[in-house]
Amino acid sequence: MKKDKHAVLSILRDKILSGALKQGDRLAEIPTAEMLGVSRTPVRIAFRALEQEGLLTQLPRRGYQVRQITGDEIAGSVEVRGVLEGLAVRQIVEKGLADSLIEPLKQCLTAGDALFVERTFNEEKIQAYVEINRQFHDCLVKGSQNNAIAMALQINEHLPMASVNALVFNPEQTDREYERLYYAHQQHHAIVQALIAGQGARAEALMKEHAQAALNSYEQLSTSGPSKTIRSE
């Protein structure tokens, strides 16, 4: 199937965010086009778009390089995510919590509860958690009925680890990962309870705290032992 410019952009962005293309890797039009089985034109367009997104930098002569993302940039983007999602849950309460939103949120909680019945975690369970986590956060953003929040999050998520679609974990410390993700899941429960109780300010504060906890975990994992990233499928 012929890949259009949007497909090429999506493929390259995913490779960068997943770590398949690492920070500092160099990219050129011809080998990238050959790798993807496309002409140079959609690759050239994708490179320019990724440069605008802050994922690539253009080299002085020819080609591009996957940009080095600083810890401060990641921290800033996660903080922005917390603010935006906090606004989303507050607006859910302000506009009135719809019954059509409560059910999918409860389904996410129930599915998550099932993952933590046994106090053991492996990569398969972590992948399942990433999917549940993505669905939960998507429900909240859509439930706000504010397209501006969704659009702002989409831009913000172009930075690695700013998105709820990815999770960094230590494959050698599954017990610790169980505790960390169990705590995050309990935060989900607390957020839903605040929404049902009509506590918009509390839900907003919990959402910001939730994002901060994710950032703290990322910072710990980035400086201690091996780590691996799982992304939502």
Would you state the pLDDT for residue 40?
A: 92
Does the pLDDT value for residue 25 go beyond 60?
yes
Rounded mean pLDDT, 26-42: 93
Rounded mean pLDDT, 198-216: 95
Would you state the pLDDT for residue 64?
A: 94
Is the overall model pTM greater than 0.85, yes or no?
Answer: no
Q: What DSSP state is assigned to residue 70?
A: P
- Give all strands (DSSP E) within 95-185, no chain letters: 166-169
Computed over every residue of the chain, the mean pLDDT equals: 88
1 pLDDT tier (thresholds 50, 70, 90): very low
Does the pLDDT value for residue 227 go beyond 60?
no
Q: What DSSP state is assigned to residue 115?
A: H
Does the pLDDT value for residue 196 go beyond 50?
yes
Task: Look up residue 163 and give its amino acid.
Answer: S
Could you give the 3-state DSSP secondary structure of residue 57?
A: strand
Task: Look up residue 202 and give its amino acid.
Answer: R
Domains and CATH numbers, the chain: 5-66 (1.10.10.10), 71-231 (1.20.120.530)
Could you give the 3-state DSSP secondary structure of residue 206?
A: helix
For residue 212, with 0-12 CB atoms within 10 Å meaning exposed, 13-18 middle and 19 or more buried, which class applies?
middle
Burial 116-125 (b: 16+ CB within 10 A, else e): beeeebeeeb
**Which residue, chain included where needed, has tokens 């992948």?**
127
Task: Look up residue 186 and give its amino acid.
Answer: Q
- Give all strands (DSSP E) within 68-178, no chain letters: 166-169
- Give all strands (DSSP E) within the chain, no chain letters: 26-27, 56-58, 64-66, 166-169, 228-231
